[in-house]
Structure 1
Amino acid sequence: METNKELSNRTVILMAIAAGVIVANLNYIQPIEGLIAASFHVTKAAVGAVAMLTQLGYAFGLLLIVPLGDIFNRHKLIQTMLVLSIGSCLIAFLSPNILVLGIASLLVGITSVAPQIIIPYAAYLSSGFHRGRVLGNVLSGLLAGILISRSVSGLIGSVMDWHFVYLIAAIACTILFFVLQAYLPRDVRGHQDIRYKDILASLPRIFRSEKYLQGAAINGFCLFGLSNVLWSTLAFYLADQYHLGSGVAGLLGLLGITGVLFASIIGRIVDTYSPRLTIGLGILFSAVAFVIFALLGQFFIALIVGIVLLDLGTQFGQVSNQAIVQSINPAASNRNNSIFMFSYFLGGAFATFMSTLAWTHFGWMGVCSVALFFVIVATISHLVLKEPQKIAHAED
């Protein structure tokens, strides 16, 4: 096994790629929501509810499955979840109606939690003084997967039946399974003598006792919620305002490459300066993005600028919050991550549902009003709970 001092760049890159390939499953639906609505002859709000099920399934997978990483061999757990994720994508590929797709979407969410087992594993393998950089690199892969998935989904949806998006996802995960089997470091930590029900019962206690975990959870809820407010409705807005299809919605996802490029830099800033600073910047960038969307969204160049700022704000928050969460009690790292990411994707699910509902009844300004709610909550949390000025670098 690679010890704390020996985590190689190759292993970090592999973990980043794995996180990106798996998390992509959650986002394939966003650029093709309009195509699904037309294919199954249902409303956009109904498809929005299906997209919400993916996020909701992921949130509950985080709560019920990710804590198992504190008990079982993480290498085997990652592989097991990957196999289940492949099966879920195949069900989505074969779905004949919106009901089956909804069930498949819920399963895709539940089974795609392996990245949140990989992240604590990467933190465990890395030196404390370089943890922010390592997490920044792994999270770069995570964000790249989100961006590429939107683009791939939108482009495939523009040239062939949208079902094939999920077949390609299943193939990609199958290839990844064999690569991880060959190259992912084995977890030699051994089985932990903790009962599953005790692990789940400890989650509320951990959340109540850790102030910084509370702040990270609320901030993650809001910043990922803001991201989903946009991406759950962008395809609708592009069609309504600019008469553009799913392919363009997917291509716009590539604008988030800014966040990918900055992830490692953000990690270094967190290591050197303060996560309080970077989280404040994340809230600021996200808020400015929606001001631009609300006031200047009718101009395509303004839409581009806003998307770049929003993805950058999301990445500032994600890297900073993960650095905070992984510095809290390493013995419970998977449970800490489970609590944080449960809140994170609960925010995504809530935002997806509320923004598609707002679009149906109030249009683009209704969507931006939903974003305002998330900005206000994030700001209050930032001012009241207060993130740490420095990350603790205890060697574990």
Structure 2
Amino acid sequence: MHFRKGFLRFLGLLAAFSLLLSMAGCGQKPATQEKAPAGEVKLGCILSMSGQLGPMGRKMADAVRLAVDEINAQGGINGKKIKLYLEDDATDSVTALNAAKKLVEVNGVKLLIGGMSSSAAKTMGPFLAERKVIMISPSATAPELTGQPWRKYLFRTCPSDIYQGKLMAQIALDQGAKKVVILAMDNTYGIGLGEEIKKALEGKAQVLAFIKYDPKKKDYRSELTQIKALNPDAVAHVGYNEDGRIIYQQALSLGLDKMKWIGCDGVYGSGMFENPAAAEFMAKTMTGTRPASPENQAYEKFRQAYKAKFNSEPEVFCDTVYDAVNLLAKAYAQAGSDDADKIREALLKIGQNYPGVSGNITFDQGGDRVGGYFEIWKVVKKDGKYECVREKLVEVK
């Protein structure tokens, strides 16, 4: 009797233990990858829609939506509609990598637009190369990205900062600068462009200092006080909207608007004017550069479509991200599949004098855009509002 009771109790415990094991197993199942319906093409997009590049990234996201909507309205790609997966990396390279892993491992994405910053592209690149995912960056301009061993599947519709650095240096020289300070944020983009400016000034002007700063700081008076003591003719600044607004507000209060400042694509756009003091400083002293589109029929058609859909003007890199979506769609159509090697081959063929809204695009064998167009811009106040205006368009080769 006691043996029977004990045996039954043992069986009960065994059953309960088995049930617990099965429940634990259910909780540990890996996420299954989404499968695309037969009539669908998955397109991932990782942009900085918040953080330091937020104002720029949100506008670029709208340009992506416009391109996808237009392609789908025309029947999609080989009869398949594009399904867009849009991720915000919050201007953080680790967040960008996590977003890439989610898109690839969970959503099953094989085509990707991003990363927006050079740091994000550099961080995501090795993972995407290993997984054979094609990525086109519309705005990762750092020269350091050229020739990387993981670059096989990464293309850029934006020109390298090799060109922008030369142009920023030339502006300083044209303004008569003999002594220059380079002020750049301490990341892939900032150091890369800063080094190109420095190279272009060699033997032509004295670089008094190359000051690197943390773009997440909230106070830059120590760096600005150092600049004031050096008393240069010009400051070449490489920054983003968020840090740029703080720097220019504090520079104005310290009287640094008496010297020339040369800005870049990162401090271009309406996001800079959220701080009135920063806007005033820029209007007083700033000459800037940015990749830009020639004023042709293709760009005007894009501009009008963007304005009609979103009730605002496209800004920097909206054109290159729009081109990136269309190039990927055409390459996928030509390749006939999402095979990365076939799409890469198609991109190299299509990207030979391709008529994009950002100008004609030619890729070299490493996936970099050859040459391009840059705008020299100023900040003016019209009808009580600040805006960036084109002073001149320059073609670089």
What range describes the TM-score normalised by the shorter chain of this pair?
Answer: under 0.3
With the length of structure 2 as denominator, give the TM-score of the two structures: 0.28
With the length of structure 1 as denominator, give the TM-score of the two structures: 0.28
- Higher percent of residues as helix: 1
Structure with the greater alpha carbon radius of gyration: 2
If asked which structure has higher relative contact order (CA below 8 Å, sep 6+), I would say 1
